[in-house]
Homo-oligomer: A and B are copies of this chain.
Amino acid sequence: MNAVKLTSTLTFRLGTLGAVVTDRFSARLAAHDLKPKHVGLLAVLDSGAAASQLDVAKIMNVAPSLVVSLADRLEELGAVRRERDPSDRRRQILTLTAEGRDLLAACARAAAELDAELLEGLDQDGAETLRAALGALARHTGLPAD
């Protein structure tokens, strides 16, 4: 029945590559005392308007209680500010501080460095194609695609 080779499926490759890349990224992030999810949270705040913690949780696809601890950490680093929404005092609005933006930029630089390492084998063209294809995939999957 037309046997499928598991290791050449997108599913398998994205899974394993994702794990490896996340590990390596995590190692570089250690210098800033951050985990990938912290950076993810920063990215959400940067790309969108000010968001409540629940909004963030939905976008990141994690439990709201996790956002609490991530935000705690980032707040104590001075990277985010927590303010009650005046129009709905249940909501905590998270916003990036200047330090937060700097931190995010540093993480983005780390990611770019890792990108360069990963792409060593590919030519300029292949790299751009890959980036575009993954972008399309991300969009189609309902992820922050840009």
Contact = CB atoms under 8 A, between A and B. Distances in A.
Interface of A: 3-22, 25, 36, 39-40, 43, 46-47, 61, 104-105, 107-109, 111-112, 114-115, 118-122, 126, 129-131, 133-141, 143-146
* Identical chains in the assembly: 2
Given A10-B115, A20-B143, A108 B5 contact: yes
29 contacts: A3-B108, A4-B105, A4-B108, A4-B111, A6-B43, A6-B107, A9-B108, A10-B21, A10-B114, A11-B25, A11-B112, A11-B115, A11-B118, A13-B131, A13-B137, A13-B138, A14-B14, A14-B18, A15-B22, A16-B18, A17-B134, A17-B138, A18-B18, A20-B141, A20-B143, A121-B136, A121-B139, A121-B140, A126-B133
